[in-house]
Amino acid sequence: LAKTTQPISMDSYEGQEVNITCSHNNIATNDYITWYQQFPSQGPRFIIQGYKTKVTNEVASLFIPADRKSSTLSLPRVSLSDTAVYYCLVGDLSLLSGSARQLTFGSGTQLTVLP
């Protein structure tokens, strides 16, 4: 079971780059790393997913070192609307492998963007 650890909270200012790290020391071979954003009273929303190295999309980058024991979500030039809780999810997403693995969310990082 890939237990994950994230910082509880982070503050940033508008326009800055924010990096949030998630530790997952016992990640398994088939586990993917996915990050979600959650606003109050809403379900989490997908940001980015990766397996190794670096992944980039239109909203974020995900850095995963070779040992895959941690991952870093990078949000470029944050704005006030990026204030939310960010979760990393580590787990074997395969529904066909036959393994009974849990999908483990981190405790979440409350990001507050200040003007």
The contact set with other proteins (CB under 8 A) reads 32, 34, 36, 41-46, 49, 87, 89, 93-96, 100-108
DSSP codes joined into one string, 38-77:
E-TTS--EEEEEESSEEEE-SS-EEEE-TT-SEEEEEESS
Between 63 and 101, whose beta carbon lies closer to other proteins?
101
Between 45 and 77, whose beta carbon lies closer to other proteins?
45
Between 29 and 42, whose beta carbon lies closer to other proteins?
42
Task: Report CA 111 to chain centroid distance, whole Å.
Answer: 12
Q: Write down the least CB distance from residue 13 to other proteins, Å.
A: 26
Q: Write down the least CB distance from residue 66 to other proteins, Å.
A: 20
Return the DSSP state at 5. Answer: B
Return the DSSP state at 85. Answer: E
Between 98 and 115, whose beta carbon lies closer to other proteins?
98
Q: Write down the least CB distance from residue 114 to other proteins, Å.
A: 23
Q: What distance in Å separates the CA atoms of residue 36 and residue 58, rounded to the nearest whole number? A: 15
Is residue 2 within 8 Å of residue 21, measured between CB atoms?
no
Amino acid occupying residue 19: N
Q: Write down the least CB distance from residue 21 to other proteins, Å.
A: 17
